[in-house]
Structure 1
């Protein structure tokens, strides 16, 4: 679904340039995953898929369940024990079979792969060229709406959003920097970039659970070595504060994974005043709620009322 592109008065004033928000949070499933997963599922359906198998702790699983239901193809999603009840309920509302297994996505994914056959097609949450093709349409829409960005800011977990945006930029022959933002506890890309090796983190921690991939997909790592990818890390508190500020300024609830990217603009962590147009991908927040953010605030000893 085409999503709104809006100019943020608050973030534009703070950063002395035009800050544009691509509102992927307005997708039916609440995140950009609907765009990527939707394209992949549609392509596999054309190839004869009889069932979709996936592994996810949140947005990807919700998107597979929704798209499978739209295509009238049954879905099984394997989720780790850390998956929220809200995410599981959203998957089941679209008639997906949800199996809880393992302490991490890697363990859930191993079980998911054991269900795959010629007709039971595996839908990877972030590592598939079909996903990147679907995401590339974000860039198509931005250009068609009359905005040619000088830089893009986005959050990165497994790497599909970065891969898809780069695919779109290449399609339109745009050679601009992309700021890839992670929280300090989920910095698989930034760590790999520093070491110049496609490494796996020993563990991932923190509140941005949908960014919690121990290893970035190989394609995203390769792009970080070849293109203008700038790694940025922010704290959990930075990400959470940005969620509340964005809710106050734009009346839109997003999850901490999305707040991570927004915090770069709210806290002016990067100097953008020399640019005309900066695009931020508001990637989503289907699995979060105001009560959840308030609970996180207590855990981090943060009072949102005093900060806004």
Structure 2
């Protein structure tokens, strides 16, 4: 297996280590806990990396803070603008507040209310537009062309990817001999960062991505060998509902990610239910992608008799969504 240094990727382990220095003292080192339930169900030794316990309830704070901290004075003076389905929005909002930079965020009108309210609570100016992340992205570009604000991309950015990659370093701190890491994919920023961090240490660590059946732009692109769009219907994994992956993230995923699997909406609901009931872990749909892959058996060959980490990427879920999932499985008991 060739060394990662031979692949000439845009993101390096040095970028991730620099991000770790910047984030030190400003980001939570999230728990890595063994799941006895997942271990028993899968035949692997399964650990959960609980990024739902990160500041703002998602891994996105890492990349947002690292990016804004690295802006120059001129970029900060113009204020920043971002587009997001919710978690990047909260990461930008809190980071800009902590770093005293004015922020504006365009979110799809379908974004979960909990994410919109939380983002507003951090002090950002919120604009709701369109049905999907990609609609919001187009509106964000239009506004930026008029205002000249500094755009913070949610995934296709060196500093954002480097910030997310610090998750990989934290995993190695506690489980240096990990065999497989299972990661949710939206635009690809987190899996790109984690893949560079882990494969720089040990190229034989297997990185497995997971996307929703209804929206999986990255898998469709990898399968096609070029960047394409994929969208069938809305998904409960709204935080990862990205039709078109990033250019930089696609190149890294294509080189370093060993496999990408897709899971159904029903499998996501089962994972959300089991994490809540058996693990006492509250997750959003996107945060359940990795465990949905585990519980469905779709990653069995990467898991059985191996040390496995599943990334729980976020926990920003409306109570209505949790109620709906519970009603689905326990409707008669609730009534």
TM surpasses 0.5: yes
Instruction: Write the distance in 1 (CA, Å) between the matches of 2:47 and 2:185.
Output: 18
Equivalent in the alignment of 2:295: 266
Contact 1:142 1:148 in 2 (8 A): no
Equivalent in the alignment of 1:167: 196
Offset of residue 48 of structure 1: 4.8
Whether 2:329 is the aligned partner of 1:303: answer: yes
Equivalent in the alignment of 2:21: none
Q: RMSD between aligned alpha carbons?
A: 2.3
Whether 2:58 is the aligned partner of 1:31: answer: yes
Offset of residue 126 of structure 1: 1.1
Instruction: Write the distance in 2 (CA, Å) between the matches of 1:199 and 1:86.
Output: 31
Offset of residue 57 of structure 1: 1.6
Whether 2:78 is the aligned partner of 1:56: answer: no
Contact 1:152 1:279 in 2 (8 A): yes
| Deviation by residue 1:12-50 (Cα, 9 ceiling, x = unmatched) | 122222111111110120010011111111111567512
Contact 2:172 2:198 in 1 (8 A): no
Whether 2:224 is the aligned partner of 1:195: answer: yes
Structure 1 residues 204 and 14, CA gap change in structure 2 (3 angstroms): same
Contact 2:235 2:265 in 1 (8 A): yes
Whether 2:70 is the aligned partner of 1:43: answer: yes
Q: Structure 2 residue aligned with 1:121, among 123, 130, 150?
A: 150
Once the two structures are superposed, the pairs formed by residues 78-227 of structure 1 within 5 Å of their partners are: 78-116=106-144, 120-201=149-230, 203-227=232-256
Equivalent in the alignment of 2:311: 281
Q: Structure 2 residue aligned with 1:72, among 100, 103, 113?
A: 100
Q: Secondary structure at the match of 1:278?
A: strand
Offset of residue 202 of structure 1: 5.1
Offset of residue 176 of structure 1: 2.2
Structure 1 residues 230 and 114, CA gap change in structure 2 (3 angstroms): same
Q: TM-score, normalised by structure 1?
A: 0.90
Q: TM-score, normalised by structure 2?
A: 0.83
Offset of residue 204 of structure 1: 4.5
Contact 2:155 2:249 in 1 (8 A): no
Greater helix content: 2
Between the two proteins, the alignment pairs up a number of residues equal to: 303
Q: Structure 2 residue aligned with 1:240, among 269, 290, 302?
A: 269
Instruction: Write the distance in 2 (CA, Å) between the matches of 1:134 and 1:46.
Output: 20
Structure 1 residues 134 and 303, CA gap change in structure 2 (3 angstroms): same
Offset of residue 145 of structure 1: 1.8
Instruction: Write the distance in 1 (CA, Å) between the matches of 2:113 and 2:175.
Output: 40
Instruction: Write the distance in 2 (CA, Å) between the matches of 1:187 and 1:19.
Output: 25
Equivalent in the alignment of 2:282: 253
Instruction: Write the distance in 1 (CA, Å) between the matches of 2:223 and 2:75.
Output: 42
Instruction: Write the distance in 1 (CA, Å) between the matches of 2:35 and 2:236.
Output: 26
Q: List alignment gaps of at least 5 residues for structure 1.
A: none
Contact 2:184 2:313 in 1 (8 A): yes
Instruction: Write the distance in 1 (CA, Å) between the matches of 2:279 and 2:67.
Output: 31
Whether 2:258 is the aligned partner of 1:229: answer: yes
